[in-house]
Amino acid sequence: MEEKLIQKIQRSDRPFLVAGPCSAESAEQMEMVARDIALNTHAQVLRAGIWKPRTRPDSFEGVGQIGLPWLVEAAKNNGLLSTTEVANAKHVELILKAGVDIAWIGARTTVNPFAVQEIADALKGSGIPVMVKNPINPDLNLWIGAFERLEKAGLTDLAGIHRGFSVYNNPRYRNQPNWEIPIALKEERPDLPIICDPSHISGKRENLLPIAQKAMDLNFEGLIIETHPNPEKAWSDARQQVTPTALREMLSQLTLRRELISEDAQNKMLLMRDKISGLDDKIFELLTARMLISEEIGVFKRDNDITILQQEHWKKMIATRLSKATDLNLSEAFVREFMDALHQESIRHQTKVMNPNLGD
Ligand SMILES: C=C(O[C@@H]1C=C(C(=O)O)C=C[C@H]1O)C(=O)O
């Protein structure tokens, strides 16, 4: 029986690597990039968009079906597997006919259960491996739901692609990573390998390395990186593509670490982890004490008809904490999120004592 994609990923040199242009542009471009990828990197899979879901209608929307043999041939000639995005039943029919090895479902499709179901139905019985990108909105269940729809259709050779989540005007990321979501996916579905897509997260080739490194440090199994023979001239996503030689250079800078550690290292870590657990105990005791005082304030507010939310006071509390964040070596984003969570919990405690019959 043929080896499954999941097994190939597990067996591969880390990271399992998918490379290739954002879009297929011509047979020559595909052959050239496939050859250079095979020559310069350990990539196992050649990617290329054939149909491109573009945000605005007048952008290049992919060469369409004519590009399928370019992708399949270029991959075969260079000992690679081929993969492209499918967004509807027609795409599925065409890639199966053309002999594409792996399908992927894009982020704009994963958000739509109707579309995922249509693809799952069309793929039924093909046994083809499918990689599912996260939905553009940070919704873990929607991502898991897509895997489940495929599994119900008998497709069991699946992997996730983490490509980040939509943000408006973020100078740092084209799509923000929200690392906690792929980590939660790993927790719920440890059987699914995850491949990180630094190209779409960063949107800029200069920022690929730190994202790829983080993915490796979080134990992702693979990377998918947009690779073009002449990135500046690419018909789509020119800013984020790299040449195969630049990709090789980037991969050589990755530090690959392992999760399993020796007993000696484990024992040393144990001591430090004990300290952390002790501190966590204290933090939680303090949080409980804080909530008790908040409840006391709640009783006072109830008896004196004062609202729970004290916006002005809270604004000052946040400002004080934020101004101390840098001195304490904590990020402002963390302090903000922590304070918001604290406030929500405090409001919940006061609601309980002030409106005991209304629930949370
Ligand atoms: C505890 C209070 O109630 C609410 C909760 C706060 C908190 O937990 O720090 C602050 C302001 C209020 O929105 C309060 O009024 O002081």
The answer to whether residue 1 scores a pLDDT higher than 60 is no
pLDDT tens by residue, 52-65: 988 888 888 999 99
Q: Is 313 in the pocket of ligand 1 (CB under 6 A)?
A: yes
For residue 165, the domain's CATH number is 3.20.20.70
Residue 359 is predicted with a pLDDT of: 67
Q: Is 302 in the pocket of ligand 1 (CB under 6 A)?
A: no
**Does 248 lie in the same domain as 151?**
yes
Domain C-terminal end among 252, 281, 304: 252
Residue 259 is predicted with a pLDDT of: 75
Domain C-terminal end among 227, 252, 277: 252
194, part of any domain: yes
**Does 188 lie in the same domain as 93?**
yes
Q: Which of 225, 260, 305, 236 is nearest to 47 (CA)?
A: 225
Domain that includes residue 32, residue range: 5-252
Mean pLDDT of 255-283: 91
- In angstroms, the CA 177 to CA 89 distance is 29
Alpha carbon of 272 to ligand 1 centroid (Å): 35
- In angstroms, the CA 336 to CA 341 distance is 9
**Does 186 lie in the same domain as 123?**
yes
pLDDT tens by residue, 313-357: 999 999 999 999 989 999 999 999 999 999 999 999 999 999 988
**Does 298 lie in the same domain as 214?**
no
**Does 244 lie in the same domain as 269?**
no
Q: Which residues 6+ apart lie within 8 Å of 199 measured at CB?
A: 22, 205, 208, 224, 225, 226, 237, 240, 241
The answer to whether residue 185 scores a pLDDT higher than 60 is yes
Place of tokens 């052959």: 31
**Does 270 lie in the same domain as 248?**
no
Domain C-terminal end among 252, 277, 300: 252
Sign of CA dihedral 326, 330, 336, 342: negative
130, part of any domain: yes
7 — pLDDT class (breaks 50, 70, 90): confident
Q: Is 294 in the pocket of ligand 1 (CB under 6 A)?
A: yes
240, part of any domain: yes
Ligand 1 atom closest to the CA of 306, numbered from 1: 15
**Does 304 lie in the same domain as 238?**
no
pLDDT tens by residue, 212-228: 999 999 999 999 999 99
Query: Which ipTM value was assigned to this complex?
Result: 0.93
* Mean pLDDT over each residue of the chain, to the nearest integer: 95
257, part of any domain: no
Alpha carbon of 350 to ligand 1 centroid (Å): 9
187, part of any domain: yes
**Does 320 lie in the same domain as 181?**
no
71 — pLDDT class (breaks 50, 70, 90): very high
**Does 186 lie in the same domain as 247?**
yes
31, part of any domain: yes
Residue 360 is predicted with a pLDDT of: 61
Alpha carbon of 333 to ligand 1 centroid (Å): 20
Sign of CA dihedral 7, 14, 178, 23: negative
- In angstroms, the CA 357 to CA 360 distance is 9
Residue 19 three-state SS: strand
Q: 145 or 168: whose pLDDT is higher?
A: 145
pLDDT > 70 fraction of the chain, expressed in percent and rounded: 99
- 78 close to 50: Cβ distance less than 8 angstroms: no
**Does 104 lie in the same domain as 183?**
yes
Q: Which residues 6+ apart lie within 8 Å of 139 measured at CB?
A: 111
For residue 288, the domain's CATH number is 1.20.59.10
Residue 356 is predicted with a pLDDT of: 86
| Complete DSSP assignment for 229-270 | SSGGG-SS-GGG-B-HHHHHHHHHTPPP--S---HHHHHHHH
Reported residue count of the chain is 360
E-state strands within 154-302 = 158-162, 165-166, 175-176, 194-196, 222-226
| Domain total of the chain | 2
Residue 314 is predicted with a pLDDT of: 97
Place of tokens 């990020």: 331
40 — pLDDT class (breaks 50, 70, 90): very high
- In angstroms, the CA 128 to CA 118 distance is 15
Of 291, 310, 344, which is best to mutate to test ligand 1, by the most ligand atoms within 8 angstroms of its C-beta? 310
Alpha carbon of 298 to ligand 1 centroid (Å): 9
Ligand 1 atom closest to the CA of 346, numbered from 1: 8
359, part of any domain: no
Q: 108 or 13: whose pLDDT is higher?
A: 108
**Does 150 lie in the same domain as 122?**
yes
360, part of any domain: no
**Does 225 lie in the same domain as 188?**
yes
Residue 265 is predicted with a pLDDT of: 87
Q: Report helix angle 89-98 to 68-77, nearest 10.
A: 40
- In angstroms, the CA 94 to CA 90 distance is 6
Q: Is 343 in the pocket of ligand 1 (CB under 6 A)?
A: yes
Q: Is 297 in the pocket of ligand 1 (CB under 6 A)?
A: yes
